[in-house]
């Protein structure tokens, strides 16, 4: 299962990197989002996949699943959500002000 | 347990939230901001005295015992940086009153400024790796908005690049955190240090350490500074000053923390690489500073040189080198803010940042001219100003650990820094006075107070080094003795 997850994480990173290297701003933003999702899966895998019961008092399992990675992912999802929202709004604003979402053309915007 | 440790994070957040509630009342924003930043100053002074008398101060959030909860720890290094942060933040805040403009004030400039400070302080104080990530994000999200606030075309373009670079590096940060968690099973910095010492820093662990170095190098503008010159040229002068003084320093601080507390077992790999990165950074930054004839570019490249210099002290890994680094870091925060504020004042007068379009300002603004001269000398490290001692100690440390090339590169880059700033000084202040008072684009009335304040502090830091040096040395010695930090956070019983 861990191997499968690792491959999936690799796939996410590949797609994300491909999108970030494209010229369209929207694709770039989606690329960062996909990479972050890859990172979340990585944290989950690294913390050890399900290998015990839920870590609750009163349950009688021999082993408990580590709940910390899930807490980390939850925090990270919230942060990623906020950043992506801000990034999208800013790119929309940039599109209205600069008239393009092509990064090649953004480079030519004069410095005034 | 000491509740004082959390105040530098809470005070700016509460003040910022109150400002958001009373958004129409700009007068309230200003007074609340001054009050909050001034109390930060007092808290950090108090922390310094407590640490001096009774060692590292810690706080376990919610009473959860380390390593299960989130720990906060203030050692002398963090407390000194807190003090500098609050001084620079307060003076930049005052500078913003006259320069930032009504439009930005009404669109949450002051709350964002305070959130940024909260993130910076949180990064200095936290004792938990994931919480460090969260503090970084608080700081970065505030900086994303500050860099784009105002919405000029250049700002929008640069903020897009800035956000992209930082989002990607934050993802890499999390990747490194995930790997480290898989290897050690903990995220508390003190506990990490214990575990890494126990299981040994093998090849895998060193790789993770290098991944962390990569992430923090992007934030600290160490070698991977490709994004910095453009981004820091775009926003208004006061925002650029705060970024230059504080944001890159947070990256440097975390490099120091990680590589003195956790990954200190393989210095011939990690610290040598850090030294090489520092040297390359200094060379490239100095070339950039000498090559450009645009004042904003010259100043931003000087930020890069400074980052390389501080890191050189870490690479030497001796008490002298560390003392120099901490001293230089304190000096650099003050003087970088000062030189950016001065640059902002000059651009405000002339309406341009191109050196060949201005000359002879000294006739109408002698005070501004001599302050710039003093700041330039301090930055280059001319005695008795504040840069001198830091450079002496860093060079001494580099020679002690036989990194002769590193010391040589540092000294050569200081000359280049002096050259680049003298180029600015001679072009802007000397020569024929082409602009009469009436032709000036803006007034610098009221800007002189924060600028003079920072200059006085820089001179005092140089002259009064005897008084400050014991604290700096304590900070350096604590950095080199990780067991002190571990005992303070985990408790003696563990």
- pLDDT, mean of residues B112-123: 97
Alpha-carbon gap, residue B162 to B231, rounded angstroms: 6
Nearest Cβ partner for B164 among A32, A86, A94:
A32
Q: Does the pLDDT value for residue B145 go beyond 70? A: yes
- B134 touches A: beta carbon within 8 Å: yes
Please state the rounded mean pLDDT for residues B139-151. 93
pLDDT-derived band at B255 (thresholds 50, 70, 90) equals very high
Identify the pLDDT of residue B443: 79
Interval B431-472: pLDDT, tens: 888 777 777 777 788 889 999 999 999 999 999 888 999 999
User: CA–CA separation, B136 vs B249, rounded Å?
Assistant: 12
pLDDT exceeds 60 at position B169: yes
Interface probe with A: pick from B61, B134, B146, B153, most Cβ of A within 10 Å? B153
Q: Which two tokens stand for residue B440?
A: 């000036």
CA distance B89 to B460: 19
> How would you label A54-93 residue by residue, b for 16+ Cβ within 10 Å and e otherwise?
eeeeeeeeeeebbebbeebbeebeebbeebbebbeebbee
Q: How do residues B25-51 score in pLDDT, each as one tens digit?
A: 999 999 999 999 999 999 999 999 999
Q: Do B187 and A69 touch (CB under 8 A)?
A: no
Mean pLDDT value of segment B207-224:
93
Best of A6, A83, A99, A102 to mutate (most B CBs within 10 Å, chain B): A83
Residues B377-381 have a mean pLDDT of: 91
pLDDT attached to residue B49: 94
For the cut 60, the answer to whether the pLDDT of residue B276 exceeds it is yes
What angle (nearest 5°) sits at the alpha carbon of residue B413, between those of residues B368 and B359? 30
Our CA-based measurement puts residue A58 at a distance from the nearest CA of chain B, in whole angstroms, of 20
Tell me what the mean pLDDT of segment B289-301 comes to.
92
Q: Indicate whether B372 pLDDT > 50.
A: yes
> Per-residue DSSP letters for B329-387?
HHHHHHHHHHHHHHHHHHHHHHS--BGGG---GGGT-HHHHHHHHHHHHHHHT-TTSHH
**Cross-chain CB nearest to B153 (options A86, A90, A98):** A98
pLDDT score recorded for residue A110: 61
Min Cα distance B187 → chain A (Å) is 10
Q: For residue B294, which phi and psi values (nearest 5 degrees)? A: -115, 125
Taking residues B391-411, what's their average pLDDT? Answer: 92
Cross-chain residue pair A90–B156, CB shorter than 8 Å: yes
> Which whole number is the average pLDDT over B373-381?
92
CA dist B212 and A43 (Å) reads: 16
Kindly determine whether residue B153 and residue A20, on different chains, have CB atoms separated by under 8 Å. no
Q: How many residue pairs from chains A and B have C-beta atoms closer than 8 A? A: 88
Closest Cα of chain A to B209: distance in Å? 17
Residues in chain B with CB shorter than 8 Å from the CB of A65 are none
Q: How far apart are CA B343 and CA B240, in angstroms?
A: 10
CB pair distance less than 8 Å for B167 and A112? no
CA distance B182 to chain A (A): 5
User: C-alpha distances in angstroms, B25 versus B21, B36, B100, B106, B331?
Assistant: 9, 16, 16, 9, 36
Per-residue confidence at A112, pLDDT binned at 50, 70, 90? Answer: very low
- B164·A98 Cβ contact <8 A: no
In chain B, % of residues over pLDDT 90: 76
pLDDT in tens, B471-488: 999 999 999 999 999 999
Q: How confident is the model at residue A62 (pLDDT cuts 50, 70, 90)?
A: confident
Q: What is the pLDDT of residue B180?
A: 95
Distance from CA of B151 to the nearest CA of A (A): 8
Q: What is the pLDDT of residues B174-204, one digit of tens each?
A: 999 999 999 999 999 999 999 999 998 889 9
The verdict on a CB contact (< 8 Å) between A94 and B181 is: no
Task: Return the residue of B nearest to A25 by Cα.
Answer: B160
Domains observed in chain A: 2-107 (1.10.287.3510)
- Put simply, whether B204 touches A (Cβ < 8 Å) is no
Single out the residue of A36, A35, A20 nearest to residue A75, CA to CA.
A36
Residues of chain B positioned with their CB less than 8 A from the CB of A48: 182
Could A68 and B160 be called an inter-chain contact, meaning their C-beta atoms sit closer than 8 Å? no
Tell me the average pLDDT across B308-314: 92
**Using CA atoms in the order B387, B307, B425, B158, what is the torsion angle rounded to 10 degrees?**
-150
- Percentage of chain B beyond pLDDT 70 is 99
Residue B94: closest CA among B452, B461, B458: B452
pLDDT at position B189: 94
B137/A83 Cβ within 8 A: yes
pLDDT digits (tens, 9 = 90+) for B315-345: 988 999 999 999 999 999 999 999 999 999 9
pLDDT averaged over every residue in chain B: 92
Q: Yes or no: say if A44 and A60 are a contact pair by the CB < 8 Å rule.
A: no
How would residue B132 be classed by pLDDT, with cut points 50, 70 and 90? Answer: very high
Q: How far is B433 from chain A (nearest CA, A)?
A: 26
Residue of B nearest to A9 (CA): B175
Task: Compare CB distances from B168 to A32, A93, A97 and report the shortest one's residue.
Answer: A32
Q: What number is the ipTM of this complex?
A: 0.94
| B167·A97 Cβ contact <8 A | no
| CA distance, residue A32 to nearest chain B CA (Å) | 7
Give residues 51 to 80 of A whose Cβ lies within 8 Å of B. Answer: 68-69, 72, 75-76, 79
The pLDDT tens digits of the residues spanning A38-59 come to: 999 999 998 877 777 777 877 7
- Those residues whose C-beta lies under 8 Å from the C-beta of residue A25, and which sit 6 or more positions away, are A91, A94, A95, A101, A102, A103, A106, B160
* pLDDT number for residue A111: 54
Return the percentage of chain A with pLDDT > 70, whole number.
96
Rounded mean pLDDT, B293-304: 93
Contact check, Cβ <8 Å, B156/A93: yes
pLDDT(B305) > 70: yes
Q: pLDDT value at position B494? A: 42
pLDDT at B69 over 90: no
Give the residue, B382 or B135, on which the prediction is more confident: B135
DSSP string covering B216-266: HHHHHTSS--TTHHHHHHSS-HHHHHHIIIIIHHHHHHHHHHIIIIIS-S-
pLDDT at B492 over 70: no
State the best of B64, B178, B184, B188 to mutate against chain A, taking most chain A CBs within 10 Å. Answer: B178
DSSP codes, B456-486: HHHHHHHHTHHHHHHHHHHHHHHHH-HHHHH
Distance CA B15, CA B116 (A): 12
Whether residue A1 has pLDDT greater than 90? no
pLDDT of B137 above 90: yes
């Amino acid at each position: 299962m861990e191997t499968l997850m690792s491959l999936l994480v690799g796939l996410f990173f590949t797609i994300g990197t491909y999108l970030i290297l494209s010229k369209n701003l929207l694709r770039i933003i989606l690329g960062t989002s996909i990479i972050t999702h890859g990172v979340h899966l990585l944290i989950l895998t690294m913390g050890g996949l399900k290998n015990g019961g839920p870590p609750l008092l009163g349950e009688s399992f021999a082993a408990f699943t580590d709940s910390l990675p899930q807490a980390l992912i939850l925090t990270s999802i919230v942060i990623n959500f906020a950043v992506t929202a801000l990034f999208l709004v800013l790119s929309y604003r940039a599109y209205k002000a600069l008239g393009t979402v092509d990064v090649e053309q953004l480079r030519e915007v004069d410095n005034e | 347990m000491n509740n004082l440790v959390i105040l530098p994070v809470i005070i700016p957040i509460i003040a910022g939230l109150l400002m958001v509630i009373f958004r129409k009342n700009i007068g309230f924003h200003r007074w609340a901001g001054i009050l909050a930043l001034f109390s930060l100053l007092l808290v950090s002074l108090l922390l310094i005295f407590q640490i001096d008398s009774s060692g590292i101060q810690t706080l376990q959030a919610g009473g959860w015992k380390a390593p299960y909860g989130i720990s906060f720890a203030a050692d002398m290094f963090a407390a000194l940086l807190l003090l500098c942060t609050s001084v620079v933040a307060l003076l930049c805040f005052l500078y913003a009153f006259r320069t930032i403009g009504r439009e930005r004030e009404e669109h949450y400039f002051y709350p964002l400024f305070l959130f940024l400070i909260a993130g910076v302080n949180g990064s200095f104080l936290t004792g938990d790796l994931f919480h460090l990530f969260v503090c970084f994000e608080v700081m970065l999200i505030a900086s994303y908005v500050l860099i784009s606030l105002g919405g000029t075309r250049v700002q929008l373009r640069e903020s897009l690049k800035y956000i992209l670079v930082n989002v990607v590096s934050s993802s890499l940060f999390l990747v490194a955190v995930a790997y480290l968690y898989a290897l050690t099973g903990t995220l508390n910095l003190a506990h990490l240090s214990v575990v890494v010492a126990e299981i040994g820093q093998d090849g895998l662990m060193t790789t993770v350490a290098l991944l962390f170095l990569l992430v923090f190098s992007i934030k600290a503008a160490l070698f991977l500074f490709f994004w910095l010159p453009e981004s820091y040229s775009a926003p208004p002068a006061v925002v650029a000053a705060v970024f230059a003084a504080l944001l890159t320093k947070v990256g440097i601080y975390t490099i120091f923390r990680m590589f003195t507390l956790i990954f200190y077992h393989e210095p011939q790999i990690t610290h040598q690489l850090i030294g090489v990165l520092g040297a390359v950074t200094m060379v490239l930054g100095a070339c950039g500073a000498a090559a450009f004839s645009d004042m904003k570019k010259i100043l931003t490249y000087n930020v890069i040189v400074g980052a390389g210099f501080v890191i050189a002290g870490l690479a030497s890994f001796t008490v002298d080198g560390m003392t120099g680094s901490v001293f230089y870091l304190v000096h650099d925060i003050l003087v970088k803010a000062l030189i950016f504020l001065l640059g902002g004042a000059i651009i405000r007068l002339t309406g341009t940042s191109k050196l060949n379009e201005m000359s002879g300002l000294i006739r109408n603004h002698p005070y501004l001219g001599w302050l710039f001269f003093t700041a330039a000398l301090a930055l280059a490290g001319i005695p008795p100003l504040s840069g001198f001692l830091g450079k002496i100690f860093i060079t001494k440390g580099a020679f002690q650990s036989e990194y002769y090339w590193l010391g040589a590169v540092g000294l050569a880059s200081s000359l280049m820094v002096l050259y680049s700033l003298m180029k600015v000084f001679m072009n802007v202040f000397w020569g024929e006075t082409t602009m009469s008072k009436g032709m000036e684009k803006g007034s610098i009335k009221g800007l002189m107070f924060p600028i003079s304040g920072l200059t006085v502090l820089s001179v005092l830091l140089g002259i009064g080094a005897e008084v400050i040096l014991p604290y700096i040395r304590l900070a350096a010695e604590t950095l080199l003795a990780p067991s002190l930090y571990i005992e303070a956070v985990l408790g003696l019983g563990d």
